[in-house]
Amino acid sequence: MPDMPAAEAVSCRLHGEVLLVTIANPPVNALSANVRRGLLAAIDAAEANPDVRAVLITGAGRNFIAGSDIREFGQPPQPPSLPDVCSRIEACGKPVAAAIHGAALGGGLEVALAAHYRLAAAGARLGLPEVLLGLMPGAGGTQRATRLIGAAAALDLMLSGRHVDAAEAHALGLVDRLVDPSESSGDIQEQGLAYVRQLLSAQAPVRRTRDAAGLADRQAGRAAIAAARAATGKKSRGLFSPPKILEAVEAALDLPFDDALRLERKLFLQCMDSPQRAGLIHAFFAEREVLKTPAIHHQTRNANTTLRAIGSVGVVGGGTMGAGIAAAVLDAGLPVTMIERDAAALARGRAHIETIYDGLIAKGRLSADGKAAVMARFSGSLAYDALAQADLVIEAVFEDMAVKQAVFAQLDRVCKPGAVLATNTSYLDIDAIAAGVSRPADVLGLHFFSPANIMKLLEIVTPAKVAADVLTTAFEFARKLGKTPVRAGVCDGFIGNRIFAAYRQAADRMMEDGASPYRIDDAMRGFGFPMGPFQVADLAGGDIGWAARKRRAATRNLQARQTRYVQIADRLCERGWFGQKTGRGYYAYPDGARSGAPSEEVEAIIAAERRRAGIVPRSFSDEEIVRRCLAAMINEGANVVHQGVALRPLDVDVVFLYGYGFPRYRGGPMKYADTLGLPRVLADIGEFGREDPLFWRPSPLLTGLVGRGANFASLNSRSG
């Protein structure tokens, strides 16, 4: 069998009458320029060679094709374009089949759709997830998918970005044939070749997706578009690409195929040029980059990064956090032993966990047997000795240094050598906690976010003496829990809560200066946060922050003459208004309501505080509210990076995307700052600083970057 000429990354080999075209572009066979060139050349070669009767396209390694090469986005385009490649495949005068295993996503599925026949192996994942990157299918996907599986199913795939498995793809009509499971041990190329030989012997014709009949029922198509448009208006608030997807599908009904393809391309390029695309792709790479953090952490760079095995976990404390953490660990298949101080507290802890699973049962997402299986891994004890064999213990007791140190003294006494000892503190000094035990190298922070079994973010807080393998083990543990881990240094509030505190201070100052908390929340929702800062305060509960403020009161009074301190939150807390859980906070929650109503009493308290502080209220536009809140976040983010609390700006971004509801399409606060331009952010801080220079002190990192004409992105690739 002679080898055919082929470009790098795409190889062609003749198997009898079938030209096998294999894409090998590690790690995921993305459609880089050389792959596109290779595919085009392969189809040309197949067409020109009289010995070839059919073509089979497959991927080497674990995937068919994961999509366009995301790293090429934003670079000058290199020919051939993917639409041209897909059109060439579809136009081929000899039957072309695609044999799909692993991922066939985005442009990868578009290549498969341009082929004439499709076979999928068990374990294949198909989808058009471009919307998750601020894009839409741009190589015929909006047209071919719609013609193949109808407007409703195609819109569902394109607007949700979800992956479907082989069986669902088959049921939808996205693929023609599934690999027989009894033969699934065979390799995908063999399966594909067998399939193409069957097609040839059945004299299967060239069958172009552009001619498929999925839109025959035009009324159903229009109804699907109208329904999707109505749903999208609610679900994809602020997103740029979903309306473009709808427009392209509408064109599939109204325009000839080639005209619709041209429109699709035009809309695709508009998405490509949008800042949302840049923000979402930044998020895609940032969330992968944080996973690699231990390798570039200064403490582990040259160290032996062996892992400590985590086969069993202890959780101290059965409150909301402890129970949520226990559920997250149970969900990862690990056994959990919970410690509480008395039988009633332990029973409450267990009940908290059961409530989580009962909620899943009520939603039909878990069976009673499933819950029983999970709870069989759970045990509780009143004696710390039950933790003697635990590989990892996570302390989640009351946020008080003395209480936590007492817990750690017990852990030091009972835990086996080598056990990892973690605290879930949100603010406290973990170096001080570690200093209290005989094995500080085993101590670190695992800061979960509430609800801990749902929120993806896990700050891995690294005290000075932590051992390298403990840190690496913590990252591996996070991965096992399905969490997104971000390394953070020890400071008050670590990365997230520290920056959030600066955001809150900016919001508090505006509230005292004249903006109502409801207006501020509204403006921040308009920016894309699901909740404004005062809604967050009500949800989180005002009591913890109040306790921290009282703790710091002594030092604050020393600085009081210079530092502005807004007392409105204290006035609410003094009334016992801690937010949702007490039925009152900034908002009123009558009869246990979950969404709050603005309160005139709160407005009156604010007005009284303004008078007390001698402030003449002024008005703030939504734009100014957003500008001040973001400037505070960005400036504190810069401080956090400057002081090494966060490794890079992208770590700050991931914390805000995963823990604080920062709109993903804006990429995170530091990416957003780059989008605005750092000189503009610095100018804003200078302007705000004229009235309050102590709060609005530009971060040295920000000033330095502006001086060098650099941006935050320039710090993302540094190696620690």
- CA pseudo-torsion sign 214, 215, 219, 223: positive
For ligand COA, the closer of residues 282 and 498 by Cβ is: 282
Instruction: Give yes or no for residue 66 binding ligand COA (CB under 6 A).
Output: yes
Q: Answer for the pair 81, 53: CB distance below 8 angstroms, yes or no.
A: no
Residue of 266, 288, 341, 480 that binds ligand COA (CB under 6 A): 288
Q: In 508-602, which ranges are E strands?
A: 587-588, 597-598
For ligand COA, the closer of residues 111 and 536 by Cβ is: 111
For ligand COA, the closer of residues 124 and 499 by Cβ is: 124
DSSP per-residue string spanning 220-271: HHHHHHHHHHHHHHHHTTT-SHHHHHHHHHHHHHHS-HHHHHHHHHHHHHHH
Q: Answer for the pair 32, 79: CB distance below 8 angstroms, yes or no.
A: no
Q: Answer for the pair 434, 443: CB distance below 8 angstroms, yes or no.
A: yes
Stretch of 98-106, 192-200, 222-230, 682-690 lying at the interface with ligand COA (CB under 6 A): 98-106
Determine whether 194 is exposed, middle or buried from the number of CB atoms within 10 Å of its CB (0-12, 13-18, 19+): middle
For ligand COA, the closer of residues 121 and 461 by Cβ is: 121
Active-site choice (90, 130, 264, 395): 130
For ligand COA, the closer of residues 139 and 422 by Cβ is: 139
- CA pseudo-torsion sign 663, 665, 666, 669: positive
* Burial 603-613, CB ≥16 within 10 A → b, else e: eebbeebbeee
H or E element at residue 712: none
Instruction: Give yes or no for residue 71 binding ligand COA (CB under 6 A).
Output: yes
Beta bridge mates, 164:
126
Pick the closest to residue 494 from 633, 629, 644 (CA basis): 644
Min CB(28)–ligand COA separation in Å: 4
For ligand COA, the closer of residues 69 and 469 by Cβ is: 69
Instruction: Give yes or no for residue 106 binding ligand COA (CB under 6 A).
Output: yes
Cα–Cα distance, 232 to 230 (Å, whole number): 6
Min CB(110)–ligand COA separation in Å: 9
Contacts of 603 (CB under 8 A, 6+ apart): 516
Residue of 45, 105, 148, 524 that binds ligand COA (CB under 6 A): 105
| AA identity, residue 287 | E
Q: Answer for the pair 74, 34: CB distance below 8 angstroms, yes or no.
A: no
To the query of whether residue 110 is one of the catalytic residues in this protein, the response is yes
Taking CA atoms, 578 is separated from 541, 547, 574, 588, in Å, by 5, 12, 9, 11
Instruction: Give yes or no for residue 159 binding ligand COA (CB under 6 A).
Output: no
To the query of whether residue 624 is one of the catalytic residues in this protein, the response is no
Instruction: Give yes or no for residue 411 binding ligand COA (CB under 6 A).
Output: no
Residue of 103, 196, 437, 490 that binds ligand COA (CB under 6 A): 103
Residue of 22, 25, 58, 68 that binds ligand COA (CB under 6 A): 68
Contacts of 350 (CB under 8 A, 6+ apart): 318, 338, 378, 380
Stretch of 66-74, 173-181, 390-398, 557-565 lying at the interface with ligand COA (CB under 6 A): 66-74
Residue of 70, 361, 455, 613 that binds ligand COA (CB under 6 A): 70
Q: Ramachandran region of residue 349, left (φ > 0), alpha (ψ -120 to 50) or beta?
A: alpha
Min CB(555)–ligand COA separation in Å: 44
Instruction: Give yes or no for residue 83 binding ligand COA (CB under 6 A).
Output: no
For ligand COA, the closer of residues 288 and 611 by Cβ is: 288
For ligand COA, the closer of residues 69 and 264 by Cβ is: 69
For ligand COA, the closer of residues 104 and 638 by Cβ is: 104
Stretch of 59-67, 378-386, 565-573, 695-703 lying at the interface with ligand COA (CB under 6 A): 59-67
Contacts of 483 (CB under 8 A, 6+ apart): 328, 456, 457, 458
Angle at 687 between CA 568 and CA 564, to 5 degrees: 25
Pick the closest to residue 166 from 152, 186, 180 (CA basis): 180
Q: Answer for the pair 421, 411: CB distance below 8 angstroms, yes or no.
A: yes
Interaction residues for ligand COA, span 124-143 (CB under 6 A): 129-130, 133, 135
Cα–Cα distance, 336 to 325 (Å, whole number): 10
Stretch of 5-13, 105-113, 320-328, 464-472 lying at the interface with ligand COA (CB under 6 A): 105-113
DSSP per-residue string spanning 64-119: SB--B-GGGTTSPP-SSPHHHHHHHHHH-SS-EEEEE-SEEETHHHHHHHHSSEEE
Min CB(284)–ligand COA separation in Å: 7
Stretch of 24-32, 91-99, 226-234, 537-545 lying at the interface with ligand COA (CB under 6 A): 24-32
Instruction: Give yes or no for residue 82 binding ligand COA (CB under 6 A).
Output: no
For ligand COA, the closer of residues 71 and 611 by Cβ is: 71
Residue with tokens 């390799």: 187
Angle at 460 between CA 654 and CA 400, to 5 degrees: 115
Stretch of 101-109, 178-186, 211-219, 621-629 lying at the interface with ligand COA (CB under 6 A): 101-109
Min CB(476)–ligand COA separation in Å: 15
**Site residue total, ligand COA (CB under 6 A):** 19
Min CB(292)–ligand COA separation in Å: 7
For ligand COA, the closer of residues 123 and 436 by Cβ is: 123
Stretch of 65-73, 110-118, 345-353, 567-575 lying at the interface with ligand COA (CB under 6 A): 65-73
Active-site choice (8, 17, 47, 110): 110
Interaction residues for ligand COA, span 25-44 (CB under 6 A): 27-28, 30
Residue with tokens 């000429």: 5
By CB under 6 A, name the binding residues for ligand COA.
27-28, 30, 63, 66-71, 103, 105-107, 129-130, 133, 135, 288
* Residues annotated as part of the active site: 110, 130
